[in-house]
Amino acid sequence: MTHPLALAVRDALRQHADPARAPQMQRYMKSEMPYYGVAAPVQKRLWRDVFAAHPLDSCDEVREAALDLWRAARYREERYAALGLTDLRRYTRCQTLDAVPMYEEMIVTGAWWDYVDTIASHHLGTILRQDPRRMAPLMRRWARSGDSLWQRRAAILCQLRFKGDTDLALLYDCIEPNLADRDFFLRKAIGWALRQYAWTDAAEVRRYVARHRDELSPLSVREALKNIGGAPPASRPTRRGHMA
């Protein structure tokens, strides 16, 4: 049985659909799933109104409604609504390890950057902050996933909003299994994660890039150094023969 909130979301999207805009949105996102053609600002307003009109009593019900939207989606905005629902501040209490299987399903079945980056930086990041003891080992496993490059991207990006709270050991443990991968989305994620941390510690990012210059792709290097300028210093052997 379809959840009433999911029905309300779909009804609101149909009412605000723009058939002229929809093909442009689909082409831009290179999406096999069509769009209603509802612009992002309008989506946010619809989510605010619909979610307020359909409060959910438990975390189980939040996950039920979100998965109903996600699994039965025929248009991409329905999946954006599922992410918007789970990201609501009033349901922050639901961002626990119990929600991770849902997010894993969304990452694997969504398999595209617009879904994955939101889940990684907002949802997984929140759970990691609250439960680092159990989430950090899970992100390390995801970073080595042989089944889904999108799980690997999510692991690399899960600390995007952490700034000074970034666990560098975890960040590097998620980056380094993917250094040799030639996939554009992984290389971009590596550079983005390093660039984001450079706002907090530019010297550390320069050091890391120099240390791994021969392993990092040119794309990752450019992205990592984009906002801090200059080429990294050349790596040099230490007395023990390691690269400093």
pLDDT at 230: 59
Q: What percent of the chain has pLDDT over 90?
A: 92
Q: What is the pTM of this model?
A: 0.91
Helix (H, G, I), strand (E, B) or coil at 237: strand
Other Cβ atoms less than 10 A from the Cβ of 138: the count is 18
Distance CA(216)–CA(83), nearest Å, equals 32
Helix (H, G, I), strand (E, B) or coil at 117: helix
pLDDT at 46: 97
> Which pair of tokens denotes residue 128?
């990691």
Half-sphere exposure (Cβ direction) of 151: Cα atoms closer than 13 Å: 20
DSSP secondary structure letters along 86-115: HT-GGGGGG-SGGGHHHHHHHHHHH-SHHH
- Which value, to the nearest 10 degrees, does the dihedral of the CA atoms of residues 219, 224, 230, 231 take? -60
Does residue 70 contact residue 52 with C-beta atoms inside 8 Å? no
Half-sphere exposure (Cβ direction) of 201: Cα atoms closer than 13 Å: 13
pLDDT at 231: 55
DSSP secondary structure letters along 172-231: HHHHGGGTT---HHHHHHHHHHHHHHHTT-HHHHHHHHHHTTTTS-HHHHHHHHTTT-SP
Closest to 207 measured CA to CA, from 157, 174, 159, 172: 172
AA letter at 232: P
Query: How much is the mean pLDDT over the chain?
Result: 93
DSSP secondary structure letters along 66-91: HHHHHHT-SSHHHHHHHHHHHT-GGG
Going residue by residue through the chain (244 aa), what tens digit of pLDDT does each one get? 789 999 999 999 999 999 999 999 999 999 999 999 999 999 999 999 999 999 999 999 999 999 999 999 999 999 999 999 999 999 999 999 999 999 999 999 999 999 999 999 999 999 999 999 999 999 999 999 988 999 999 999 999 999 999 999 999 999 999 999 999 999 999 999 999 999 999 999 999 999 999 999 999 999 999 999 755 444 443 333 333 2
pLDDT at 238: 34
pLDDT at 236: 41
pLDDT at 214: 95
CATH of domain 132-244: 1.25.10.90
Closest to 172 measured CA to CA, from 124, 147, 204, 127: 204
Domain 1-94, CATH number (from 3.50.40.10, 3.50.50.60, 3.40.50.1980, 1.25.10.90): 1.25.10.90
pLDDT at 229: 74
Domains 1-94 and 132-244 share a fold: yes
Q: What is the pLDDT of residues 149-198, one digit of tens each?
A: 999 999 999 999 999 999 999 999 999 999 999 999 999 999 999 999 99
Does residue 160 contact residue 192 with C-beta atoms inside 8 Å? yes
AA letter at 152: R
Domains in the chain: boundaries: 1-94, 132-244
